A and B are shown apart, each in its own frame.
Chain A
Amino acid sequence: MVEGILVNGLIRGGVYALLAVGFSLIFGVARMINLAHTCFYMLSAYGIYTFADLMGLNPVLAIIISLIATTIIGLLTYKMFIDRIREHHVTVLLITLALAMVFQECMILGFGSHYLGAPSFIPGYAEILGVKVSYQHLLIFGVVLVVLLCVWALLSKTRLGIAIRATAQDPEVAGLMGINVSRILLVTMGIAAALAAVAGIVVAPTLVLEPHMWTHPLIMIMAIVVLGGLGSVKGSFIAAFIIGFVEVLVVFLLPAGAFLKGAIALLVMVIVLLVRPEGLFGIAFEEERL
């Protein structure tokens, strides 16, 4: 049982981490809670289904098209609807929620509310510590590590990363230093949308595709991001695994209450926040952001 908890907890935490990173990034830089974030994940998942399954395109080509299309939609969304009101946080919340609903209704119009499945990139499973894990889940875990490495390298080793971090710390000073803040925010939004798209692409084959699939992950990643400390990518990563392990523990130790796994995971978040209101890696000083 311990092996089952360990392996399944890691896998589930990995899925959550992949989703939470982009959300955390855009909050850290733009202080923007984008409720449409998981819609980009939904759009790319439907993209994979459409291009690979319905149109029969090569899976690699389908991945590239889905990734690019979702990123462009993310950029357009930001430019058309969010950029001009980004200082008004409550308005951003409402606008992104409305956009999420629009995306959802578009999916209902296009695909109905039918439950669909996307093909696995690598069918089959491996046994780790005697526990069966599908190759697709292992792929997700690998992609999580690669994505996090890339995000870390981008933020710490490139000029763009320095500009993003400067903007995150103080947009006004960053502007005075010659950084085009508006462009940096646009780029960050593009990166966040692309990260959500990657999550959708690799996670889609393990999910049921349906037009409301964005809601549950949104709740979970918001909990993860709050638990980890708003805006802290590192905190989100660790919190994702905490939530993942709590969920799996509930399933193993309380099988008849398996449906409570989400609620209990959220309860853990509440308890942690009562003890440490800023979250596990919350920002005591603005300079620590990212």
Chain B
Amino acid sequence: MRKKLIFSSITCLLLISLAFGACTTEEEVNTIKIGVIGPMTYVQGEHHWYGATMARDEINDAGGITVDGKDYTIELIKTDSNEMLSPTDAAAAMERLITVDKADFVIGGFRTEAVFAMQDVAMDYETIFLGCGAATEELCTRVADDYDTYKYWFRITPFCNVNLVNNSLMTLGTAGAIMQAGLGLEGSLKVAILAEQAEWADAMVAAYEAYVPVMLGMEVVGTWRPSATATDVTAELTAIEDSGAHLILTIISGPVGIPYARQLGELEIPAASVGINVEAQKDGFWDATEGYGNYETTLNTYAEGVALTEKTNAFFEAFVDEYGETPTYTAGTYDAIYTLVEAIERADTLDTDALVTELEKTDRKGAGARLVFMGTDTDTPHDVTYGPGYATGIATQWQDGEMKAVWPWDWDGLTYEGTVMWQIPDRVINKYTQ
């Protein structure tokens, strides 16, 4: 009798757990899992997560997504890629995200070296991966070279490094023109290139060395390549000052951007800094440089009050309200999720190949730009279409503790509202007016 009772109890418990399990499974079926992968203890990864979270909350609060008559909500899976320290870890994290966490789609990535590895893993599993961090052109030329394997990769932000060069050169040209007019400098200006040692910067350095003299009529006086993690660039700056450079063209994404800007200001090196300095895109830059980062100019994606599309300001304000920080470009995960969701709704299916076809038709105004992917007949399919009317980016300059948009400045007639004139640093004015 006692044995029967125990047996019955166990049977009941099993039935109940199966019933609950069935309920849970039913709920899981109605969830679209999106993996958000990035360096989560760094600002870039945090903003990956913040942007994605904002999009998820907005979409779920509005009722979720309906696909083939079924209602779905978005579930995000946060994954730390540890890519700043180990690209190998990033590949392993992507593998786990797809095979263990069962992510349906993946967004994020930051460091080129790591994104290459993550891209390969995602493509092996035929999982759509929307890049929101790495700029290297080759990530998209792979799609052209082997479409069947790499067609699941799309880049949301930033645009590729070739166009970053273009924007840098145009910003440099604007700054140079303002310096020549304001300081009465005659003849060709001298430019020093300071680029961190990283794969993404190599092609850009070669392009700068080739195009700065040809396109802008400026003289390149030298190229310095400190480590991305260097903590002291005093020697480099001393050598740059010795070279007589009027402008320093930067390609920096690593922490060296802070000591560089700080020492540039503290030692009053008489050269204006223009280019890419990812650290200068962050709110914490001013404090980290103790204010010596004044006048630092960098390509950027967002600035307060500058509407790249009609959605920019609402996104910017909501982001600042929620997280108390200015979004960096990796917060483009916000646009990534909307792009994906709209493609799913248009296709009315979760079939990956059908979604690839639908994503290729994307033409939407996001918070950062109007997003249209490059066609399969181009050299860089699935990359961001670049130029006025599409993704342009902006350049910002630190002016007395505020990040101000200073470019585009009449680029084929394009100047976004809220853009102010680029300022010549005091240290440069002092040098050339005394």
Contact = CB atoms under 8 A, between A and B. Distances in A.
Contacts of A262: 227
A258 to B, nearest CB: 5
B279 interface: yes
Contacts of A182: none
Interface string B218-243: 00001111110111101110110110
Given A4-B239, A116-B288, A206-B259, A256 B224 contact: yes
A132 B242 contact: no
Given A12-B235, A207-B231, A208-B231, A113 B39 contact: yes
A142 interface: no
A255 to B, nearest CB: 5
Given A137-B234, A213-B231, A256 B225 contact: yes
A71 interface: no
Contacts of A212: 85
B242 A208 contact: no
Number of contact residues on B: which range applies? 35 or more
A1 interface: yes
A178 interface: no
A8 interface: yes
B287 interface: yes
B353 to A, nearest CB: 38
A255 B224 contact: yes
Given A1-B242, A208-B258, A256 B227 contact: no
Contacts of A1: 239, 242
Interface residues of A, number: 43
Interface stretch (B16-24, B260-268, B377-385): B260-268
A247 B259 contact: no
Interface in B28-84: 39, 41-43, 46, 84
Name the residue in B266, B279, B287, B288 with the highest tally of chain A Cβ atoms < 10 Å from its Cβ: B266
Interface in A109-139: 112-117, 119-120, 123-125, 131-134, 137
Nearest to B195: A256
Contact of A132 (B224, B231, B238): B238
Contact of B262 (A114, A117, A124, A255): A117
Interface in A252-290: 252, 255-259, 262
B287 A114 contact: no
B284 interface: yes
B279 A134 contact: no
B401 interface: no
A108 B287 contact: no
A46 to B, nearest CB: 14
B197 interface: yes
A179 B270 CA distance: 59
Nearest to B293: A117
Given A216-B229, A256-B225, A248 B235 contact: yes
Contacts of A8: 234-235, 238
A248 B85 CA distance: 26
Name the residue in A12, A205, A210 with the highest tally of chain B Cβ atoms < 10 Å from its Cβ: A210
B234 A259 contact: no
Interface string B269-295: 100000000010000100111100000
A251 B236 contact: yes
B266 A120 contact: yes
A12 B233 CA distance: 10
A124 B231 contact: no
A216 B227 CA distance: 12
B348 to A, nearest CB: 41
A117 B291 CA distance: 11
Contact of B225 (A113, A131, A255): A255
8 contacts: A7-B238, A112-B41, A114-B43, A116-B287, A131-B238, A132-B238, A207-B232, A257-B225
Given A112-B41, A257-B225, 17 more contacts: A4-B242, A53-B287, A113-B41, A115-B288, A116-B287, A117-B258, A124-B266, A125-B268, A132-B238, A134-B234, A134-B263, A134-B267, A212-B85, A247-B235, A251-B239, A252-B239, A259-B227
* Leading 8 A-B pairs by shortest Cβ distance: A259-B197, A117-B288, A113-B41, A251-B235, A132-B267, A259-B227, A4-B238, A8-B235
Interface of B: 39, 41-43, 46, 84-85, 196-197, 222-227, 229-232, 234-236, 238-239, 241-242, 255-256, 258-259, 262-263, 266-269, 279, 284, 287-290
